[in-house]
Amino acid sequence: MPPTLKNSLLTASMIVFNEEHCLAECLESIKGIVDEIVIVDTGSTDRSKVIAGSIGAKVFDFSWRGDFAAARNESLRHAAGEWILYIDADERVRTIERIEVENFLADRSKIAFTVCFHPYKGCTAYREYRLFRNDPRIRFDGVIHETMLPSIQAVSAEESLSIGHCNLTIEHRGYEGRQDHKHARNLPLLRRQLENDPHRIFCWWHLGWVLNSLGDEAGAEEAWMAAAKVIRERNFHDMADSLPYADLVRLRHKQGKDATGLLQEALERFPDQYLLIWIKAQVLMGEHKLDEAIPLFERLAAIDPEILNPAKLAYDARIFGVLSYEALASCYFKMGRVAEAAAYYALAEQCEPENIQHKIKRQLTLARMRP
């Protein structure tokens, strides 16, 4: 059983390895809303442990064994709070009042809560399972992309408790900058995880993404095709299952290969996946089928990313704004409809006033209108 701490409602549970460049900002973002911070350090050689200690975190050493679940479960073992918030050093919690946190955690009918999660800068949010009761039956599983959801669901069924949604928001910063060190770490873990569980579609997608980033397009295509095979064998689909399709279609277009059938299959399975709609619109525009492309770009431009209902997939928010405006302007310009083109360039300029290209294109388009 975890240790006890009087009046401890919420424990932040973390694992850390050489995170001195980002750890302080993360800890500052949570220290006002949690009662304790438990950090398991897996062998840092920088100032991570010093930074953690200076902010009052409890730090425990744990030898890295190539298993994220094992490290996270070690952190849970030391947690004293009634609830767990699991967070990484390259993440930040947006400002939220402690009383708000106390209010939703007071709901005795809940076993866990999802939070709004922004995986990278400039994207929309999706829902992640980051808050759950401190219960020894709830533990992580998986050497990478570890999850506690099956155990949450098991306890939920056993205790007749439900999973709620809260307004706590986490922003992830870890995809900024070069990712070579993460690719080197993740590649063998992904292969190991897929040997143990070849039905993890997200792991197939991530494997393809890593291989593609490393320049192995053939390996990436093979991984994404393996994901598609699993999807075809299933009777149910998660929106995140669409990611291998999207990247596979884009890879084949980059290589000059026909991906029409694959894109159609993807849209039949995931008709409301906005990235796939964006890709189809781009393909149609490239084929000069402007009348077919325009309604798709208009559909995307009509969506307000600020109020997009968080689901299980994040989108680059620009496809709902400047990128669709640019595409619509280009389509209308090619059709000789310069007034519409100028109007959309103006909208793009409003989105990115610092981008002089929008202003130049709008002015050139307006010049076409003069007798």
Instruction: Kindly indicate the confidence band of residue 4, based on its pLDDT and cuts at 50, 70 and 90.
Output: very low
Report the residue count for the chain.
Answer: 371
**Edge-to-edge strand order for the sheet containing 83-86?**
58-61, 36-41, 10-16, 83-86, 126-133, 110-118, 162-172, 91-93
Q: Is residue 5 over pLDDT 70?
A: no
- Contact status, residue 142 vs residue 193, Cβ threshold 8 Å: yes
Tokens standing for residue 77: 């073992």
Other CB atoms within 10 A of residue 142 CB: 21
Q: What sections of the chain are H helices per DSSP? A: 23-30, 48-54, 68-77, 98-105, 149-159, 180-196, 201-213, 217-232, 243-254, 260-269, 274-286, 290-301, 322-334, 338-351, 356-369
Nearest partner of 351 among 289, 305, 286, 290, judged by Cα: 305
Cα–Cα distances in angstroms (integers) from residue 71 to residues 27, 55, 56, 76, 78, in the given order: 19, 21, 20, 9, 12
- Which residues touch 129 (CB under 8 Å, ≥6 apart)? 112, 114, 147, 148, 149, 152, 163
Residue 145 buriedness (CB in 10 A; 0-12 / 13-18 / 19+): middle
Instruction: Kindly indicate the confidence band of residue 177, based on its pLDDT and cuts at 50, 70 and 90.
Output: low
pLDDT at 181: 84
Instruction: Kindly indicate the confidence band of residue 309, based on its pLDDT and cuts at 50, 70 and 90.
Output: confident
Domains of the chain: 10-172 (3.90.550.10), 178-255 (1.25.40.10), 272-371 (1.25.40.10)
Give per-residue pLDDT as tens, 220-255: 999 999 999 999 999 888 899 999 999 999 999 999
The bridge status of strand 58-61 relative to strand 110-118 is unpaired
Give per-residue pLDDT as tens, 50-107: 999 999 999 999 999 999 999 999 999 999 999 999 999 999 999 999 999 999 999 9
* pTM of the predicted model as reported, rounded to 2 decimal places: 0.91
Give per-residue pLDDT as tens, 118-137: 999 999 999 999 999 999 99
| Separation CA 108–CA 112 (nearest Å) | 10
